């Protein structure tokens, strides 16, 4: 999506350690009008999939998920990052490995809000190694919900997470696909 690529080129900043900062419009400050355009495009891509729920993960996925959900006229469910063990048994739980911090944490959603019969579009701001997306897909699998696909704002294609998820048969649509990124040479899109 050219509009998003242009925005990334204009406002994004590349830092050492494979960091792309887009916090002027996507994941700290949120340009709500701009996100509407992304939501509209995600709706165009998944309009005929019978989506009845959008699933995302706190915190930075919530903004784009809520704006996008308006086009689908469906609720958003956001998975919470949890450090506590699920004793009550009322949660779907999956493990995410953070390669950045080399730690594991659980993500959880209430069983009340995700179940068989749900047709889920997963939305997130970034897709890199795919561990967060894999966990969200796993939550849907446990719940017996159907994943119609994943709609991502920015995919770091070179990290391989998107390829790994697509190989599993999940449709992944990313609005901007970064082929390579460098503090000096800048960003190259696919």
Residues that bind a second copy (CB under 8 A): 23-25, 28-33, 35-36, 58-59, 62-63, 66-67, 69-70, 73-78, 80, 109-110, 112-113
Minimal distance, residue 58 CB to a second copy, in Å: 4
- Cite the DSSP H helix spans in 47-113: 61-72
- The C-alpha R_g of the chain, in whole angstroms, comes to 16
Minimal distance, residue 17 CB to a second copy, in Å: 14
Minimal distance, residue 95 CB to a second copy, in Å: 19
Cα distance between residue 77 and residue 57, in whole Å: 8
Q: 74 in helix, strand or coil? A: coil
- Return the number of the residue (9 or 32) whose C-beta is nearest a second copy: 32
DSSP 61: H
Minimal distance, residue 93 CB to a second copy, in Å: 14
Cα distance between residue 117 and residue 146, in whole Å: 7
- Return the number of the residue (111 or 164) whose C-beta is nearest a second copy: 111
- Return the number of the residue (72 or 177) whose C-beta is nearest a second copy: 72
- Nearest CA to 148 out of 59, 61, 47, 70 is that of 47
- Return the number of the residue (24 or 93) whose C-beta is nearest a second copy: 24
């Amino acid at each position: 999506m050219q509009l998003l690529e242009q925005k990334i080129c204009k406002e994004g900043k590349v830092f050492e350690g494979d960091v792309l900062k887009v916090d002027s419009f996507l994941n700290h400050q949120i340009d709500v009008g701009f996100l509407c355009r992304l939501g509209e495009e995600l709706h165009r891509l998944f309009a005929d999939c019978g989506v009845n729920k959008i699933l995302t993960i706190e915190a930075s996925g919530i903004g784009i998920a809520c704006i996008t959900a308006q086009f689908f006229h469906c609720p958003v469910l956001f998975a919470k990052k949890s450090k506590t063990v699920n004793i009550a048994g009322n949660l779907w739980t999956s493990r995410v490995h953070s390669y950045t911090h080399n730690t594991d944490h659980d993500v959880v959603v209430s069983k009340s809000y995700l179940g068989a019969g749900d047709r889920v579009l997963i939305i997130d701001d970034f897709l890199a190694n795919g561990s967060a997306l894999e966990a969200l897909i796993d939550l849907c699998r446990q719940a017996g919900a159907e994943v119609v696909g994943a709609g991502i704002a920015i995919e770091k294609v070179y990290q391989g997470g998107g390829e790994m998820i697509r190989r599993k048969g999940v449709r992944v649509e990313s609005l901007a696909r970064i082929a390579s990124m460098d503090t000096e040479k800048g960003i190259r899109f696919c």
